[in-house]
Amino acid sequence: MTVVRRVGVNLCWLVPGVVGGSEQATVRTLEALRRRDPRNFEIVLFASTSFTSAYPALANAFETHALPLPDRLKPLRVLAEHTWLRAMVARHSIDIVHDAGGTAPGAIDVPRVLTIHDIQPLLFPQRFPATRVAYLGRAVPDAVERAARITVPSGFVRDSLVEHLDADPGRISVVPWSRPDVSERADVDVVRGRWGLTDRRYLVVPAITYPHKDQVSAVRAMGRLAERHPDLRLVLSGGIGPAEAAVRSEIDRLGLDGRVIRTGHLPTASVLALIEGATAMVFPSRYEGFGIPALEAMSLGTPVVSSDAGALVEVVEGAGVVFPAGDDAQLAVEIHHLLSDDERRAELVEAGRARAASFGPERTAERLLAAYRSVLAGQ
């Protein structure tokens, strides 16, 4: 007789539109589990009400229990994770709790699997609000110490946990995020036309202006390329973040108004269309625990020009152009070579599609299920 184990996934922390790339990664992992139909496991979601509203297909696919609180009131939500979650785990006979958001609130008397997307707030506290850094500085090391198993999206994050938090590498499983679904995107010609990009070559940087995304380096590279490539434009798609003023100041300093297009926040379908129509997707980030935009671009057949920061080399792995993070001069050189070499660009398109294809949802689901099995086996 097959024994079915119940896995409670803690999603109380996941408020759509607030938690960034970890939202996309978590949703895709759940979708991968849904496709995989894990027969030996029942997946039970403990989620915010806004999550169930934003992702009704997932809420209907799995047994789901919504947090009975306004989830955008963070102090109440965190308190509920320490109290309500524990009671629900006991009431619904959960065998394993999977804390998918990097912390493991409360004392729960079943084994816990912890997913950590990255530890950037611990390594670069100056980039984040002091209250968040103070909370995570206590909560993350505590969760790492208590977890039966830890899953991470990349070898880079695994090594960071070992180096900076003294985590046991034997308890860490690398569960790479799966490639995004890029099928539902806007019409490329319509989007290009909206931003005056019809019949123009352009580069796109799809990111909120957080300091670590380093749009400033992309703007400086554009300044170096402007005279040699007068038809080229740089598109910065993404919402306003803490580095917005620095980015706009650099655009003004270099006299690039009109050459650098700032779209602000756009729907995902429009962002994907911008990436598809671009000559290259530029990803100058100073830190990444994974790098979903690189997979998006490769899936769409757009060459990737990426920094070597964090997990990006690991994700791109020879299927894109890599430059030293923060080196805008070398970034400009690499873009110039790409603009001048159609054969090289075609090679990158082919290599990128093949690389993206290797990040299938089946692999994500199976590696996560293997992590669950190892906990049940006491490994």
Structure confidence by residue, pLDDT tens digits, 195-231: 999 989 999 999 999 999 999 999 999 999 999 999 9
CA 52 to chain centre: 20
| Alpha carbon separation from 136 to 13, 111, 120, 151 (Å, rounded) | 13, 21, 10, 17
pLDDT at position 363: 92
Residues 109 and 28 in one domain: yes
Q: Nearest CA to 244 among 281, 282, 205, 208? A: 208
Alpha carbons 172 and 300: distance in angstroms, whole number: 32
Domain range spanning residue 114?
A: 5-178+360-376
Among the listed ranges 19-23, 267-271, 353-357, which one has the minimum average pLDDT value? 19-23
Q: Cα Rg for the chain, rounded, in angstroms? A: 21
Alpha carbons 316 and 311: distance in angstroms, whole number: 9
Residues 117 and 210 in one domain: no
Residue 183 belongs to a domain: no
Could you give the number of structural domains in the chain? 2
pLDDT at position 217: 98
Distance in angstroms between the alpha carbons of the first and the last residue of the chain = 23
pLDDT at position 35: 86
Burial of 349 (0-12, 13-18, 19+ CB in 10 A): middle
Instruction: Write out pLDDT tens, residues 140-174.
Output: 999 999 999 999 999 999 999 999 999 999 999 99
Residue 231 belongs to a domain: yes
- Does residue 1 have a pLDDT over 60? no
Q: What 3 state SS string does 121-158 have?
A: HHHCHHHCCHHHHHHHHHHHHHHHHHCCEEEECCHHHH
Place of tokens 């065998």: 95
Residues 77 and 54 in one domain: yes
Residues 310 and 217 in one domain: yes
Residue 296 dihedral angles phi and psi, to the nearest 5°: -60, -50
Is the C-alpha dihedral spanning 371, 372, 375, 379 positive or negative?
negative
Residue 343 belongs to a domain: yes
Alpha carbons 352 and 134: distance in angstroms, whole number: 39
pLDDT at position 72: 66
Burial of 353 (0-12, 13-18, 19+ CB in 10 A): middle
Alpha carbons 64 and 58: distance in angstroms, whole number: 9
More confident residue, 252 or 81: 252
- Does residue 25 have a pLDDT over 70? yes
Residues 331 and 204 in one domain: yes
Residues 105 and 146 in one domain: yes
**108: amino acid identity, one letter:** I
Average pLDDT, the chain: 92
Residues 82 and 146 in one domain: yes
pLDDT band at 16 (very low <50, low <70, confident <90, very high): confident
Tell me the whole-structure pTM to 2 decimals.
0.91
Residues 300 and 346 in one domain: yes
For 248, the token pair is 């706009």
Residues 332 and 366 in one domain: no
CATH number at residue 119: 3.40.50.2000
The DSSP letter of residue 2 is P
Mean pLDDT score, 187-200:
93
Instruction: Write out pLDDT tens, residues 72-107.
Output: 677 777 777 788 899 999 999 999 999 999 999 888
Residues 60 and 164 in one domain: yes
Residues of the chain with pLDDT > 90, as a percent, come to 78
Residues 143 and 237 in one domain: no
Residues 9 and 100 in one domain: yes
Q: How many C-beta neighbours within 10 Å does residue 111 have?
A: 17
- Does residue 243 have a pLDDT over 90? yes
Mean pLDDT score, 125-153:
93
* Torsion of Cα atoms, 10 then 11 then 13 then 18, to 10°: 160
Alpha carbons 308 and 24: distance in angstroms, whole number: 22
Tell me the residue ranges of DSSP E strands in 200-332. 202-206, 233-237, 260-264, 280-283, 304-307, 321-323
Helix (DSSP H) and strand (DSSP E) numbers for the chain:
16, 13
Residue 125 belongs to a domain: yes
